[in-house]
Amino acid sequence: MDEPRAVMTADDISRALTRMTHEIVERNRGAEGVLLLGILTRGVPLAHRIAEIAAHSELTLPVGQLDITMYRDDLRANPTRPVGRTILPGSIDDRVVVLVDDVLYSGRTVQAALHALADLGRPSSIQLVTLIDRGLRELPIQADVVGKSLPSARSERVRVQLSETDGEDLVTIERTAQ
């Protein structure tokens, strides 16, 4: 295994989130009817940061969290997973739901999130926001707003660390043993 290489520092993450927030607001012509749903685990603090950045412009973006554990297609292969809680700041019916996640890779996490949302209500639309898009999709899913495109090989691991969950803000990439 190679030594992890930093690809985004705390300042890079902060700048990307500021730009992403502006893109979300622009795309939706404001914040009215928009709801941020962070996908557990690291999507939740990212959604809260986006809401905080929007609040600096006096825009309110309600934030919730979405647990997709029971909707994953690999549950049989790894059945002992901790189950989190889905917390909604209100109904998702007829709202623009912006799913927030840290890394978009195969698209399977997003597929699970879409299944979970279908059980929770009927949004007017669903958008996807991700800090890192590493490519290599297995499903026809793409992000609407991306912090950084980071093409990578399947033999590489992209790791997002956030101060809320890991004590520091850093994105690294490393080659894994094959």
Domain boundaries, the chain: 5-74+83-175
Quick one: pLDDT at residue 76? 67
List, for residues 105-143, the tens digit of each pLDDT value. Answer: 999 999 999 999 999 999 999 999 999 999 999 999 999
Helix orientation angle between 10-27 and 43-55, rounded to the nearest 10 degrees:
70
HSE-CB of 70 using CA atoms within 13 angstroms: 9
Quick one: pLDDT at residue 9? 98
Quick one: pLDDT at residue 81? 63
Class of domain 5-74+83-175: alpha beta
Quick one: pLDDT at residue 162? 98
Surface-to-core class of residue 12, CB atoms within 10 Å of its CB (0-12 exposed, 13-18 middle, 19+ buried): middle
* Among 12, 30, 14, 34, CA closest to 22: 30
Quick one: pLDDT at residue 1? 66
